[in-house]
Every structure is written in C-alpha cells, then in structure tokens.
Structure 1
Amino acid sequence: MSKVVLITGGSSGIGKSIGEFLVDKKFIVYGTSRNPEKYKGSKFPILPLDVKANTTIISTVNAIIEKEGRLDVVINNAGAGITGPIEEIPEEEIKNNFETNFFGPLNVIKAVLPQMRNQNSGLIINITSIAGYMGLPYRGVYSASKGALELITEAFRMELKDFNIEMTNIAPGDFATNIAAGRYHAPLLKDSPYKKPYGNTLDLMNTHVDHGSDPNLMAKAVYDVINTPKPKVHYKVGEFMQKFSIVLKRILPSKVYEKLLMNHYKL
C-alpha cells in the first residue's frame, strides 16, 4: 500500500523536489502552499495551508485523512529566512519568523498526532537547518528558530515512543533554491553601526545560496529516512565543511570556534 505523505511548503524549492521524488517512487503526495492556485501544473496536489493560521492546518490535514483514510509521513518543510543585526530587526519580524519556523511546524505536529496514534504508526520529519546548530552573525533569529525546532524534536521523540510514532530532524546546509527571495532582510541603514559588516555578510550569504547544493540531495535523504525503520534523532545534508562545522563546534573551545566563524564571515 502506497504511503500517504504531507509536505508543507511543497510548491517550490526543497519541498517541491522532495514531493516530485516521492511521487516517482509511487508515494501518494500532498503539498501545501498559501497560494495553491499558482501551482495547478504540479506533479502532486497543492492544498491551501498557512502554517501561521491553525485553522488552515486543521482543515487541510482533515481533508487528506478523509480522502485517504490515513496519513503516514508528514514533512515540516515550510519555513522562512531572516537576516539582520538582532538589535535592528523589528520585534514583529522576529515573532513572525518564529511563527513560521517553530510554532507553525509545532501546530502541524499537533494536528496529525491523533490520526497517527489511531493508526499506531507514523513518521514526522522536521526540516531544520545546519544554521540551527550555531548562532550565526546576522542570522541569529533564523538560527534560534531552527534550533528550537531541533530541540523540541528531541523531547517529542521520547514522548511519542509509546505510540509507534517516529520523529526526526533533517538539517540542510545551503541549497540552490529561491529562499533568499522570500527572506526578510533588515534594511542596510545608512547610519547603522552594523552597516559594513552586515552588508558584507549579506553578500556572502546570498552567494552561498546561489552556489548551493542540488535540492534533489535532500529529496534522496528524505526518501532514505522514510525507508529507515528506526530513524536517528538528527540528520545533516549538505557540503562537507558545512556538516563538519557542527563537529568542530562540539570539539573546539567555544572562543576558538567563535573566531573561526568570525573569520569565515570576515568580521
């Protein structure tokens, strides 16, 4: 029996690549978007869902369950980037980022758990970020929101053990997607004390995304996790040095690691 998969943010980028890959592997795939009417040519249905609007989460999850009778895999992929000096990012934008990157996935999880408990099976994959393992300069809010999702997954896994429901994180590095276009950028203010270092860091971040890895690597990683009976807590997907940076943080003195990051970002 083909597994039923829900992918939030499945209309473009990594989510679209995952969905198309799984369709080719004979999964029943549903993606979501805030504007599904734009994606009528998709290889899989795109349903209306805004992770910041809990009513749309519940409605779409219920619609899938009503049609398919089950929900086997949920991939929390919808997310948003944000950059800027923490001091200068409006509080509203910080809250907005956490609504998208943390509270949104959390509400999706809450919406699907009753069905997964009823069927005594299920897998939830949270797409986080390698940035969530470290506080990156001028990406601190993004690092914090993705790091929060990483940590709450660790707790969730233990709470769900009695129900035969698995949960894991997959943390991508930089991938060649359109995420930079939808990212909130705090403006480069003329009189800002951060103007020069923030501007340089912004250019470097955009270059990383433009020359990022093929999103199909993430699709293959998700497929492999789905076919793993007992997934690990954390997976990392990306360039070797991006993944190795997590190892370095674990083994180096904190100030040495901080210096490496600052040298990388030319700060």
Structure 2
Amino acid sequence: MKNRKVCLVVGASSGIGKAAAEALAGRGHRVYGTSRDASRVTTANVVGLDLEINDDHSIREAVGKILEAEKRIDAMFYAAGFYTAGAIEETTPEQIHQQLDAYFVGAHRVTRALLPHFRKVGAGRLLYMSSNAGDAALPYHAIYSCSKAALQIYCDGLRYEVEPLGIQVSYLQNGGVKTGAEASFRRAAEPVAAYDGPRDRAIAAFHRMQQKGPEPKAIGATVADAIEARTMKPVIRADNFSKLIGFLGAVMPAKLFRSQLRKSLDIA
C-alpha cells in the first residue's frame, strides 16, 4: 500500500479507540493497539500491546517493541481514559489526580516517549481524543471537563514547539458517542445530599446523550481521515453538534449560553 503508515492507538480495546484501530487497519495501515491487557485488543489486523498509561516503563517498552518491529512510528491516536461525574465538593483530590492521569498526564507520558523518534525523523502525527467539555464545562462533570480543557491547551502549546520539527498535533471533539462509557464511569466518592437532585439528573442526561449518539465507527473513520490527510487541522470537530457548541460558545452571551447548557443537562 502506498503511504502505508505505522500507527499507535492508545486505548484500542473498546469504544472510539477500537473504532479508530479498525478503520486504520481496514485501510491497510499497520496498527498497534494498546490496553492494560493486550488480549482485550481483538480487532482483526491490529497487534495488541500491553500498556499502562500511568507507567513510563510500560509505555517505553510498548513504543520500543513497535520500533524494533517496524523501524518507525508515523502516527499516534490517544483515546484511553474514563470519566468522573459528580459535584466538585463530592470529588476527592485522589479522584481528580486519577482523572487527570487518565486524560492528560497519560497522554503526556506517551507523547514524551514518541517525540525523540519523531524529532529524529523530522515527522510524526499526534492526535488526541478530546470533548466539547474542553470548551464548555459541563455541570456535575467539571473534573472531566478540566481534564479535557487541560489536554486541549497542552496540544496548543505543544504545537508551537514541534511544528517547526515537522510534527503535527491535533485534537478531536465529538458530541455524545455510543461507546458504553456510561456503564463504567466513576461517581464522585463522597456524596453530599444537597446535590442529589440536580447531580443525578445531569448524570442521567449525559448518559442519554451518549446512548442516543452515533456508533463509534464514524469517529474511527474521522481519525483515519486525519492521519491520512496531507495536513491535520489543529482542531477537528467531527460532528455538527461539536461545531455548533463551538460557535454558540463564541457568539452567545455567557448568561444565555449557561442557561441553555443547564437545560440540556436537565438542571434548569
């Protein structure tokens, strides 16, 4: 295959990461997909690798195995993580650390492991899964929103540093996607009764958005398109909802925007 790329998909055992690995492999790229347990990576023509996003040694070992086998890595898509929901007062500092480790620090660890190779060859693509929550904090999902906002600012800063070296950086946003994430999210650990009503309605509304969203396959195709494009866009808004939220956040009065967001999560 002409322009066949060697791709690393972090978090390839389920959801959007699995869909991205499937799309890339289906187009003939050489794909390595990671999970804490490589046996959970079951997509055809995707090589599974053990990788723990909080362990530098694990990450370096996985990257080393790819380079040993392929002599190069051309692109990385980061889709690992989970989300925490609940009021800020209910969320422990330990949970905040865990959330940031999943979406932000873990992404940084993988990035640091890849950059020496990318710098050496003068090329490479880094694509990260973000969320509309990175632009507009979601009520009762503030810690999740913080982790995505941090990731987006990280990408913006990283882009200044590595673009002159031939390395492209982008993040992708999408609205609710039917990934099954609502079955494995983490609730804030120390519930406060004062938040019971609005907190539970907001979490339920967020889950409904996911359940009504598209299957991950469409997002997987968007990831593959970005990695194959001549130049990745700095921000990829994959669906009309993401484009609309970005536009409304920029043009609507803040009070009106917040009111509409509250209504969308059933806490108006």
User: Do they superpose with TM above 0.5?
Assistant: yes
Contact 1:130 1:243 in 2 (8 A): no
Aligned-partner SS, 1:126: strand
Distance in 1 between residues matched to 2:198 and 2:161, nearest whole Å: 43
What are the residue-to-residue correspondences of 1:55-204 with 2, within 5 Å? 55-186=57-188, 189=191, 192-204=193-205
Cα deviation, residue 215, structure 1: 0.9
Question: How far 1:243 moved relative to its partner?
Answer: 3.0
TM-score by length of structure 1 reads 0.95
Q: Gaps (5+ residues) in structure 2? A: none
Give yes or no for contact 1:131–1:173 (8 Å, CA) kept in 2: no
- Of 2, 5, 13, which residue of structure 2 is paired with 1:3? 5
Task: Check the 8 A contact 2:92/2:190 in 1, yes or no.
Answer: no
Query: Structure 1: which amino acid aligns with 2:107?
Result: P
Aligned length: 265
Which moved further from structure 2: 178-187 or 202-211?
A: 178-187
Supply the distance in 1 between the matched residues of 2:153 and 2:11 (Cα, whole angstroms): 21
Q: Is contact 1:84-1:186 (8 Å) kept?
A: yes
Relative to structure 2, which stretch is displaced further, 78-87 or 226-235? 226-235
Per the TM alignment, residue 40 of structure 1 is displaced from its structure 2 partner at its CA by 5.2
Q: Deviations over 1:19-61 (max 9, x none)?
A: 1111111000000001113345654111000111111111101
1:231 maps to what in 2?
232
SS at the partner of 2:126?
A: strand
Amino acid in structure 2 at the alignment position of 1:167? V
1:188 Cα offset (Å): 8.6
Is 1:84–1:139's contact at 8 Å kept on the other side of the alignment? yes
Q: How do 1:246-257 residues align onto structure 2 when only pairs under 5 Å count?
A: 246-257=246-257
Residue 22 of structure 1 is matched in structure 2 by 24
Once the two structures are TM-superposed, the CA of residue 225 in structure 1 deviates from its matched residue by 1.1
- State TM-score, norm by structure 2: 0.94
| 1:102 CA drift (Å) | 0.3
Residue 186 of structure 1 deviates from its aligned partner by: 2.2
Deviates more, 1:41-50 or 1:167-176: 41-50
Partner of 1:206: 207
SS in 2 for 1:117: helix
- Alignment partner of 2:50 out of 48, 51, 57: 48
Following superposition, the deviation at residue 76 of structure 1 comes to 1.0
CA distance, structure 1, for counterparts of residue 42 and residue 266 of structure 2: 44
In the alignment, the residues of structure 1 paired with residue 266 and residue 181 of structure 2 have an alpha-carbon distance, to the nearest angstrom, of 23
Q: Percent identity?
A: 28
In the alignment, the residues of structure 1 paired with residue 86 and residue 179 of structure 2 have an alpha-carbon distance, to the nearest angstrom, of 20
- Preserved CA contact (<8 Å) 2:173 2:242: no
| Cα RMSD after superposing both structures | 1.5
C-alpha distance in structure 1 between counterparts of 2:114 and 2:37, whole Å: 22
* Structure 1 unaligned blocks of 5 or more: none
Paired residues of 2:8 and 2:32 also in contact (CA < 8 A):
yes
